[in-house]
Structure 1
Amino acid sequence: MEVAVGRWTKPTLPVGPLRTLNSELHALHRKAGHPSARELQRAVKKAASHTKIHHAFIKPQLPAWGVVEVVVEQLAKAARPKLAEEAEVDRFKSLWDAASDAESASDTPEPNEHSYGLALGGLSRNGAIHSAIIGLHQAGKPTGLHDVAAELARRGQLEACGGEDYLFECVKIAMKGSFEAGVGIGEFAVLNARRVKEASDARHAFFSVALSGKSDRHSLQAAYERVITYHPDWALPDGFNRSPHS
């Protein structure tokens, strides 16, 4: 399946070096005839994944220079009128350096767990994905990768959930799991999303109880037994009842 064929949507960026870099990438892509991400991946001999190539154009973050370099080289080859590859790579390196310097000088803090929690309305990442899948399922809509991504984007939660890269990893697991369980991938996605959310909730509850400093042993025991149901590798060698001083 080809990914993102044709014109790609520019991300919303403030005026500055990163916006200039992104605009020049899109202009060069246009001169090369809008090759798809998979076509570019084949051209660079898999030096970068088609997902990273696509994200270099559509994500509002500075892409890795290694991705920009190999993509610019191939686009310059395909451009009409033809462009000097080395000169284009040098030009884009200057643009990339300016964007990188501006990013380093920025006082804007990196997104943290708290800011992501606000973006997700207090839900965990898996909780937000679960909510999107269940919402689509209850509305009788498909729950494929692009459907869930579009729903999360509509809710303003896609980036905080890890973007399409994280969803793609979830889909790979779902495909394998649905085959082994003998159910359709849509049904498995709903069932798996519920269990993932339950596991996430169990982790959150356990750490909340363990770190509160106010929990009695009974509450901690209950939280521990719940979390190891989903994470058996967290089980203590001698069980929970060992002495805290042992």
Structure 2
Amino acid sequence: LAWYGSRWKRFLDGAKGECRVLHALENPFPRLVPDLSVSITESLSASLVEWLKDGNQVEADVWPARKPDMARLLYDDLSTWRSDLKKIVVAITPSVYSIIPPAELSTKERASWVEEAATELLDRSKYLRDGKDELGKTKNFAHPGLREVIIFFIYTGSYRIAHRRPDIFRKQVPLKCLALVATAFHCVLDGLRKNGNGKTYPNFSSKDYLSIYNRMLGLLEDIMKDPYHGPKLVQQLCRWAEAGW
């Protein structure tokens, strides 16, 4: 980014934000091929059109020669964005899931204790649940940890992508955003399951977690079709959006 003039820098800062919200709503795990040349480049071009339409200017002799470099910049920024999401989840997972081993255990025993706890949470995706409702039915994708991260990362934190699409995010949390956050928790619990000392975690990349994300999204879409759980989920997503806004 340092290579670009001040006007291009301002434009690219805004383009990053637009690219983040677009991919949060459509595909948070773009692949280098073909998405760099399709969805990311399209987002970049659309952002430039809007930027110029609003009366802004940019330095000459940069576009379209640097278009591929700019697209790669946005692609890499999405990776940083997902990494920052993972960092938030890493920070809160021990407390929201009570993965805090007894102090009297040895270092090795503490690591084993954490690994067992993480394995139990991943079993049948228990980490997504928040007990049962008044009719004794499981509350899926309702864990308070999901709510906490969604509100902070999507609505109120430094990225605040929700405020770029108030017509969508003010009404309810989009399913794909919930699927993304659920996948981030899966990634962190994967790390704790394999390494209980919490020193290393898997890469939160399309290569490693696109399939998990798609599975989460499929589960959510199935819930939405359920005559009982579907309306319950919609109500929950509306409440979370209201709390975040």
Same fold (TM over 0.5): no
Structure number with higher relative contact order (C-alpha < 8 Å, ≥ 6 residues apart): 2
TM normalised by structure 1 equals: 0.25
Structure 2 length normalisation: TM-score? Answer: 0.25
